[in-house]
């Protein structure tokens, strides 16, 4: 795949994006940058503002303030076909045929019909759906329909691909296919923004991550950098009997508790375990103390709880 119409290497830059619905801020001063060949992951619980950001990028919504530029061109001046969008809510024309649907979406993104047809067949072949080109959409399984909609989102070879929960509802094989596609996008210099709940995949695929809650950024950066920030304040303790005093400490966040084994993160990011241990009785019952590297999921849970004020 060749990226078209990318004239400079500045990539996609969003600055101070804000969007309110009534008095409620859905997106609150969000900024990010995606360079060509980069994948940016947006992580956050439902209602954190990921979809709103994506809708702003593809011009379905207008931000209340802030700006977006693609290679220094303001978003308002960028043609729609420079973006490929896979919304979280999926759907196609149930009675239409596979190929004609894809050609329709391709032509809506300014592809010549013939080229759209050739590209659609090529992608269908790659995803193992070429024998269904003349089938009606409603004759296909849900998984197949998802793949077709995925193809519809990037058939026109846009420089920016925006995918909202692309792995949702996919089986393991198709997830691998999608990962390969995303890797291909990266190597072709596309800018990919994806929202997902699957932390392990986000960690694996994304160059940069933004963790969000209630429209605000909780943390951002490369996955490794984010994890590094929490690495030395994350501990694992195993004891012979339960440690209720540990759970009652206010300066730690218990991530996991299993058979008198506890995973926790120090809230004030203290790296001195002895300080923590000094606050609990039954210290003699502790068998094992380790510093461990928290997963993105652990960090995510911790940050969300912290941000929401939930213990």
Partner 1 sequence: MKNLWRIAGWEFRNRFRSRSFYFNTFVSPLLFTVLLTLPIFIFRYEPEISARLIGVIDLSGKNMSNSLQTDLNQFYRLKNQNPEYMIMKVNLNNNPFYSQLQAEYDEIRKARDSITTLFEAIRHERTSYYQQTAIPNREFLMQSSYEKLQSTREEKELIEVELERFRANMDSVYGTDARQTADSLLMARVLDAYLVFPPSFVNSGDMEYHSHKSAAFLETTRLEKILQNIIIDRRMANDNIERIKIRRWLKPINIRRYQLEAGTTREWNFYAQFYGPLIAVFLLFIAIFTSGGYLFSSVLLEKSNKILEQLLSSTRSGILLAGKFIGFGCLGLVQILLWLILLFLVQYSGYLPADQVSYLTLNNLALFILYFVLGYLLFGGFFILLGTISPTVYDAQQYNQSLRTIAIMPALLSLLVFSNPEGQLISILSYIPPLSPSFMIMRIPLSPQSLSSDIIITIALLLVSGIIIMLLAASSFKNLVLLQGRKPTLSEWWNAVKFF
By the criterion CB under 8 A, which residues form the site for partner 1?
Answer: 55, 58-60, 80-81, 83, 85-87, 89-96, 104-105, 107-110, 149, 152-153, 162
Smallest gap from residue 210 Cβ to partner 1 (A): 21
The CA distances from residue 139 to 102, 239, 277, 299, in Å, are 16, 56, 61, 42
Cα–Cα dist 126/261, whole Å: 47
* Residue among 89 and 241 whose Cβ is closer to partner 1: 89
Smallest gap from residue 311 Cβ to partner 1 (A): 32
* Residue among 45 and 242 whose Cβ is closer to partner 1: 45
Smallest gap from residue 40 Cβ to partner 1 (A): 18
Taking alpha carbons only, the member of 103, 98, 95, 94 closest to residue 133 is: 98
Smallest gap from residue 71 Cβ to partner 1 (A): 19
Tokens standing for residue 76: 């308002």
Query: 30 and 215 in contact (C-beta within 8 Å)?
Result: yes
* Residue among 94 and 143 whose Cβ is closer to partner 1: 94
Smallest gap from residue 69 Cβ to partner 1 (A): 18
Query: 230 and 255 in contact (C-beta within 8 Å)?
Result: no
Smallest gap from residue 75 Cβ to partner 1 (A): 13
How big is the CA angle at 41 (ends 36 and 45), to the nearest 5 degrees?
160
* Residue among 148 and 202 whose Cβ is closer to partner 1: 148
Taking alpha carbons only, the member of 49, 64, 58 closest to residue 80 is: 58
Handedness of CA 245, 247, 250, 251 (dihedral sign): positive
Cα–Cα dist 147/296, whole Å: 27
Smallest gap from residue 103 Cβ to partner 1 (A): 10
* Residue among 97 and 267 whose Cβ is closer to partner 1: 97
Q: How many CA atoms lie within 13 A of 209 on its CB side?
A: 27
Cα–Cα dist 110/157, whole Å: 11
* Residue among 83 and 185 whose Cβ is closer to partner 1: 83
* Residue among 116 and 226 whose Cβ is closer to partner 1: 116
């Amino acid at each position: 795949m060749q990226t078209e119409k990318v004239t400079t290497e500045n990539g996609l830059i969003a600055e101070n994006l804000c969007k309110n619905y009534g008095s409620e801020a859905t997106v609150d001063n969000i900024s990010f940058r995606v360079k060509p060949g980069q994948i940016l992951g947006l992580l956050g619980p439902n209602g954190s503002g990921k979809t709103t950001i994506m809708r702003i990028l593809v011009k379905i919504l207008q931000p209340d303030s802030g700006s977006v530029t693609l290679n220094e061109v303001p978003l308002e001046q960028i043609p729609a076909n420079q973006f490929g969008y896979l919304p979280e809510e999926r759907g196609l024309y149930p009675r239409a045929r596979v190929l004609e649907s894809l050609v329709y979406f391709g032509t809506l993104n300014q592809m010549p019909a013939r080229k759209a047809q050739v590209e659609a067949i090529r992608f269908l072949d790659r995803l193992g759906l070429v024998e269904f080109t003349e089938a009606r959409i409603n004759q296909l399984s849900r998984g197949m329909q998802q793949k077709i909609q995925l193809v519809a989102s990037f058939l026109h070879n846009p420089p920016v691909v925006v995918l909202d929960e692309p792995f949702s509802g996919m089986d393991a094989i198709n997830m691998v296919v999608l990962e390969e596609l995303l890797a291909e996008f990266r190597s072709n210099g596309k800018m990919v923004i994806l929202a997902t709940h699957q932390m392990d995949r986000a960690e694996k695929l994304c160059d940069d991550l933004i963790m969000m809650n209630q429209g605000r950024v909780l943390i951002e950066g490369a996955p490794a950098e984010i994890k590094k920030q929490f690495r030395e304040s994350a501990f694992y303790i195993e004891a012979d009997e339960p440690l209720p005093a540990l759970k009652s400490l206010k300066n730690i966040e218990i991530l996991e508790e299993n058979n008198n084994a506890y995973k926790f993160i120090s809230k004030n990011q203290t790296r001195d375990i002895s300080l923590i241990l000094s606050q609990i009785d039954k210290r003699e019952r502790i068998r094992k103390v380790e510093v461990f590297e928290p997963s993105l999921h652990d960090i995510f849970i911790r940050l969300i709880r912290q941000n929401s004020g939930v213990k």
